[in-house]
Structure 1
Amino acid sequence: MIDAVIFDIGNVLIEWQPERYYDREFGEARRREVFEAVDLHGMNDGIDRGADFRDTVYRTAAAHPDYSDEIRRWHDDWLELAQPEISHSVHLLRQLRAKGIPVFALTNFGIGSFVVAEGAYPFLTEFDRRYISGHMQVIKPEPRIYEMVEDDCGIAPDRLIFTDDRADNIATAAARGWQTHLFEGPEGWAARLVDEGLLTRDEAGL
C-alpha cells in the first residue's frame, strides 16, 4: 500500500545537464578545461545546502578569474542549465494528484535557484509537500534528509515510493525501508506506478 509518491526534480521532472549548456556556449574543450579546474558541482552542492545562490557563484568566479565568465553563467543563465521540463513526468505528477494521491518533492535544490525555477515551471507549486534541501540544510543522499521527510509527513517508510535518477540517493531511501524506483526515463516510472495500482495505463500515458 502506497500512501504518498515522492519525486526528485532534477532529471526526473526537469532536465539538469549543465555540461550540455557549457558545450553549446563555449565548446566541449573549454567546458572540460573549466570543469577540471573548478568544482562547479561541488559549488552547487553548497548552494543546495542553503548557501546564497548568487553570492556563492560570484565568489567562486572571483576566485578563478581565468574562468570567471563561465562560472557566473551558472547563476546568470541558470534556466538554460535546467531545461526543458520532462513533460511525461509532469503528466504523471498531475494524474496522481487528480486521483487524490499525495505527491511530494524531495530535491537537492538551492533556495534562490528554486525561486527562479518556480517562475519558469508552474508545476513546481503543485506538490502536496515540498522538501527542498536548501531550506533543510542537508542534501541527498545523507540519511538525515530522509529522516526529516519521515518525521514531517508521518507516513511509514514502506508506504512511501520515491523516484530519483541517482542510485546513491535511491540506496539511502531503500535502506530506510522506502519503496524506490531508479528513474531512467518517464516510461519506466509510469509503468511502475501502474504496477503499484496507483494509475491505469491510460492515466499513465502508456
Structure 2
Amino acid sequence: MTVLFDLFGVVACHQSEEGGDRLVRVAGAPAPAFWEAYWARRPSYDRADVSASEYWRRVGEDLGLRFDDHRISALVEADIASWDAVDDTMVALVGELAASGRRIGLLSNIPEELALYYEEHHSWLRDFHVRAFSCRIGHVKPEPEAYRWCQEALGVEPERVLFVDDRRENVRGAQETGMRAHLFTTAARLREEFARWDADAST
C-alpha cells in the first residue's frame, strides 16, 4: 500500500479562526464579503495561474478596494500564519510510516508562498517521497489530473494507492481515478483503515 495524504485537515490543521480574523482586519473589509472573494479566487492562486499580487489585487477588486504592495505583503504574511498549525499526532504517524519503509506522498491545494513556508519550517515534509503541491503541478483537487500526476510520480498503479482527505469531493475525485480513498476523521480510524488494507492484501 502506498499512502497519498492531503495536507490541511489531515496532517496540518485547517485555517485558524484567529488567523482568519487577522486576515479580515488586514484587508479592512466585511468578513462575509471577504471570505466570498477569498475562496472564489483561491483555485487560480493555488494552481499558480496568478501570482500572489494578482490574487490579492483581484480579491480587493471584488471588495471594491485597492490593495497596494504594502497591504498585499501584509495579507500574504497573515494568510501564511493562518495555516501554520499542524496535528502532532498525524505528523508522528507520517514519520512512523516513512520509517517502516512505506512509500508515502502528499497532495495539497496550496499556493507557492505557503508551500515555501512549509518547506522551510516543517522538516517532516522530507518524509514524503512525493510532494505534489498544486502550485507546482498545475492541477488542483478534485481535478483528475492532480491524482494522476501523483500516481505517476509514485510509480504505482492507482489501485495500490490509498488517498486520505477530509473532504468528500476530494475523496470522490480520487476514487474516480481508480484509487482507494479514506475520508479522514481521526488518526485512530485511519490506522483501522491501514489494518483493513493489510488484511485484504494478505488474503
TM range (shorter): 0.7 to 0.9
Question: 2:131: which partner in 1?
Answer: 130
1:71/1:98 CA distance change after superposition, 3 Å? same
Q: What SS does the corresponding residue of 1:55 show, helix, strand or coil?
A: helix
Letter in 2 for 1:83: D
Answer yes or no: is the 8 Å Cα contact 1:57–1:72 preserved in 2. Answer: no
1:26/1:169 CA distance change after superposition, 3 Å? closer
Q: What SS does the corresponding residue of 1:85 show, helix, strand or coil?
A: coil
- In the TM superposition, residue 19 of structure 1 has moved relative to its aligned partner by 5.0
Is the aligned partner of 1:110 residue 2:111?
yes
Answer yes or no: is the 8 Å Cα contact 1:143–1:172 preserved in 2. Answer: yes
Kindly provide the CA deviation profile for residues 144-198 of structure 1, in whole angstroms up to 9, marking residues without a partner as x. Answer: 1112222333311111111011111110111222111101232222332233339
Answer yes or no: is the 8 Å Cα contact 1:57–1:71 preserved in 2. Answer: no
- In the TM superposition, residue 26 of structure 1 has moved relative to its aligned partner by 5.3
Question: 2:182: which partner in 1?
Answer: 181
Question: 1:147: which partner in 2?
Answer: 148
Question: 2:159: which partner in 1?
Answer: 158
Answer yes or no: is the 8 Å Cα contact 2:53–2:72 preserved in 1. Answer: no
Question: 2:197: which partner in 1?
Answer: 196
Letter in 2 for 1:187: A
Letter in 1 for 2:42: N
1:26/1:140 CA distance change after superposition, 3 Å? closer
Letter in 1 for 2:10: V
TM-score (structure 1 length as normaliser): 0.80
Q: What SS does the corresponding residue of 1:197 show, helix, strand or coil?
A: helix
Q: What SS does the corresponding residue of 2:198 show, helix, strand or coil?
A: coil
How many residue pairs align between the two structures? 193
- Structure 2 gaps, min length 5: none
Residue 10 of structure 2, aligned match among 9, 12, 15 = 12
1:189/1:23 CA distance change after superposition, 3 Å? same
Q: What SS does the corresponding residue of 1:194 show, helix, strand or coil?
A: helix
Is the aligned partner of 1:95 residue 2:96?
yes
Q: What SS does the corresponding residue of 1:77 show, helix, strand or coil?
A: helix
Q: What SS does the corresponding residue of 1:12 show, helix, strand or coil?
A: coil
Question: 1:47: which partner in 2?
Answer: 45
State how far apart, in whole Å, the 2-side matches of 1:78 and 1:25 are: 6
State how far apart, in whole Å, the 2-side matches of 1:177 and 1:74 are: 39
Letter in 1 for 2:40: G
